[in-house]
Structure 1
């Protein structure tokens, strides 16, 4: 799952939310989907944090050049 893009992770997370909202899956499957969703949520958060750090570095390097 580490090689999945942010966009792919968010799309899959949205799919999982829609499935769970229907409340039609057996409990065992719902728990598996919930765990996958939690993993995807963490992955998205980690990627966003990484992107934020990159932006801060870019801004910092541009400001130091001025």
Structure 2
């Protein structure tokens, strides 16, 4: 029995775009559409989590009083 490998962010986004396209066409039977929707919702949660983790790692470099770079935590736009 093969285990599913977790996709990277780019792979997840590509699959999510594919799912949205399939659902927008509107020709999938209800059961398949629900399965696609559930997969898309899971991928969206995973992508959001990955983006949140990446944002926490970002730091801004600014010049300190002595002109040397100083790291500060990233303060995202909210």
Normalized against structure 2, the TM-score is what?
0.70
Which one has a bigger Cα radius of gyration? 2
Q: CA RMSD in A?
A: 1.9
Where structure 2 has 5 or more consecutive residues not aligned to the other structure, the ranges are 62-68, 72-78
Corresponding residue for residue 63 of structure 1: 70
Q: Do structure 1's residue 8 and structure 2's residue 15 form an aligned pair? A: no
Residues paired across the two proteins, number: 61
Normalized against structure 1, the TM-score is what?
0.82
Bigger relative contact order, structure 1 or 2 (CA pairs below 8 A, ≥6 apart) = 1
Q: By percentage of residues, which structure has more helix?
A: 1
Q: By percentage of residues, which structure has more strand?
A: 2
Where structure 1 has 5 or more consecutive residues not aligned to the other structure, the ranges are none
Which structure 1 residue ranges, 4+ long, deviate > 6 Å from structure 2?
none
